[in-house]
A and B are shown apart, each in its own frame.
Chain A
């Protein structure tokens, strides 16, 4: 079966959804704000004759109609990184700050890791974990090329991630960009549609629940956890949130994202989910001419220990 048909009852305009899913996506690069401004990337493209188009909802993104994002001077300098437009959303939602302690639970190959590092201005500690040793070399390569120096790379199963190698016992923020069925990437990789199975959906949903649960546990009260996937399957999205909301002290929060999204769904087949999953964002390909995506922001429960404010005050005392 074509899994995309399965989701047509969820979308406002099934024929537009179907049509968008069949259109290939252009190559897109993200400006590495750690090293350079979008203006200089634009100037570098102009002077070397690389055609590009702006992306209206994000000044740091450029579409390259001729492809080959890796064969440009900005790439050599680590100024740009090839990354699909929607894949920039989780790091935007995470809103990491300089000095934060941040966990990227499923980090390879590092597009979002390097974007988070840039948001942190390369200051603070970013723990980039992936259970797949083979994919860690791509993560390391990307982090080094983009000039990131505040990242620790670990190779653990995120479901029982150990804080032992770290200098602290809780994160301020965590990103779970989970392994998933990936139908949202069908415009770049049509094979995902052929390879899709319901068994895989159910199997990977168990893994997603385990990873998100551990990420919430590893984040301090008042901290932020972002959950994202590139699947439309409610089993891998709202059902995972529903599970974690019931199992751990946390709540979904409303955040604005800079493009058109639709709310999470509270019913799917014979399941119903916590009403707050409506605060999650579904991104369909036909709304913004992007890939498909899912993104939710959780606040970890309990009294906010305000670690950062305390430490900032302490640092100020030490400095004086």
Chain B
């Protein structure tokens, strides 16, 4: 990887900082860690031990093991973040795994709204007074608040971006 082009068919480790960048447009590790901290309050105490990899344009993976030559791998860890667009988008899986550590931009839905969200429905949510853009959507279950997935908040509306394969018709649970 010295020609500055991204090879979308292989995994490459993210450069440590923007100054180490050799591939145009590739996010750096520091930028990724900063983004989670700024957007959701999930800091280096949670994510600092992981490595980050890019495969395809802007698809970042999170990995917690040892790797040397990732060119022959089908997957390394879990899809984590979509970069190379104006607003970075966390994956449903990343939010499910790490979203419990978030301290901001988490919208907690009641039982009825949570069921609509996981079914893939968009819903008006004028009461939200936090940031616009991608939010962690959570609900109360079994004595705690747990993330369900990613919502996109725009113009008083919460859009469900739960992937089609993960949507489900689930019962409304009242607390």
Judge whether B48 is part of the interface by a CB distance below 8 angstroms.
no
Q: How many A-B residue pairs have CB under 8 A?
A: 112
Judge whether A155 is part of the interface by a CB distance below 8 angstroms.
yes
Judge whether A48 is part of the interface by a CB distance below 8 angstroms.
yes
B64 touches A43 (CB 8 A): no
A40 touches B142 (CB 8 A): yes
A44 touches B141 (CB 8 A): yes
Residue with the greatest number of chain A CB neighbours at <10 A, chosen from B67, B141, B168, B169: B141
**Nearest residue, chain B, Cβ from A168:** B66
B68 touches A43 (CB 8 A): no
8 Å CB contact of B50 from A72, A143, A149, A154: A149
- Residues of the A chain whose Cβ atoms lie less than 8 Å from the Cβ of B166: 76, 145
How many B residues, CB 8 Å from partner? 37
In the complex, identify which listed stretch (B14-22, B76-84, B102-110) lies at the interface while the others stay far away.
Answer: B76-84
Judge whether B5 is part of the interface by a CB distance below 8 angstroms.
no
Judge whether B73 is part of the interface by a CB distance below 8 angstroms.
yes
B66 touches A125 (CB 8 A): yes
Judge whether A300 is part of the interface by a CB distance below 8 angstroms.
no
Judge whether A219 is part of the interface by a CB distance below 8 angstroms.
no
- Residues of the A chain whose Cβ atoms lie less than 8 Å from the Cβ of B70: 152, 165
Question: Which residues between 98 and 146 of chain B lie within 8 Å of chain A, taking CB atoms?
Answer: 118, 141-144, 146
Judge whether B173 is part of the interface by a CB distance below 8 angstroms.
yes
Judge whether B152 is part of the interface by a CB distance below 8 angstroms.
no
Judge whether B62 is part of the interface by a CB distance below 8 angstroms.
yes
- Residues of the A chain whose Cβ atoms lie less than 8 Å from the Cβ of B143: 40, 43
- Residues of the B chain whose Cβ atoms lie less than 8 Å from the Cβ of A151: 65, 75, 77
Question: Which residues between 245 and 275 of chain A lie within 8 Å of chain B, taking CB atoms?
Answer: none
Judge whether A150 is part of the interface by a CB distance below 8 angstroms.
yes
Q: How far is the CB of B119 from chain A (nearest CB, A)?
A: 11
Q: How far is the CB of B166 from chain A (nearest CB, A)?
A: 7
Tell me, in angstroms, the Cα distance from A133 to B78 when the chains sit together. Answer: 18
- Residues of the A chain whose Cβ atoms lie less than 8 Å from the Cβ of B78: 143-144, 147-149
8 Å CB contact of B171 from A35, A48, A162: A48
Judge whether B9 is part of the interface by a CB distance below 8 angstroms.
no
A71 touches B169 (CB 8 A): yes
Q: How far is the CB of B162 from chain A (nearest CB, A)?
A: 9
Tell me, in angstroms, the Cα distance from A167 to B77 when the chains sit together. Answer: 15
Given contacts A76-B118, A147-B93, A149-B97, contact A122 B75 (CB under 8 A): no
**Nearest residue, chain A, Cβ from B74:** A153
Judge whether B72 is part of the interface by a CB distance below 8 angstroms.
yes
Judge whether B63 is part of the interface by a CB distance below 8 angstroms.
yes
B69 touches A76 (CB 8 A): no
B72 touches A164 (CB 8 A): yes
B141 touches A150 (CB 8 A): no
Given contacts A71-B168, A164-B72, contact A150 B64 (CB under 8 A): yes
- Residues of the B chain whose Cβ atoms lie less than 8 Å from the Cβ of A70: 168
- Residues of the A chain whose Cβ atoms lie less than 8 Å from the Cβ of B75: 136, 140, 143, 151-153
Residue with the greatest number of chain B CB neighbours at <10 A, chosen from A144, A147, A150: A144
**Could you list some 17 contacts between A and B, CB below 8 A?**
A35-B97, A41-B142, A43-B142, A47-B141, A48-B171, A71-B168, A72-B170, A76-B118, A78-B97, A101-B66, A125-B66, A140-B74, A145-B96, A147-B78, A152-B65, A153-B73, A154-B73
A interface, CB within 8 angstroms of B? 35, 40-41, 43-44, 47-49, 70-73, 75-78, 101, 122-126, 133, 136, 140-141, 143-145, 147-155, 162, 164-168
Beyond A40-B142, A47-B141, A76-B166, 7 additional pairs, beta carbon < 8 A: A71-B170, A125-B67, A147-B97, A150-B65, A152-B75, A165-B68, A165-B70
B interface, CB within 8 angstroms of A? 50, 62-79, 93, 96-97, 118, 141-144, 146, 148, 165-166, 168-171, 173, 175
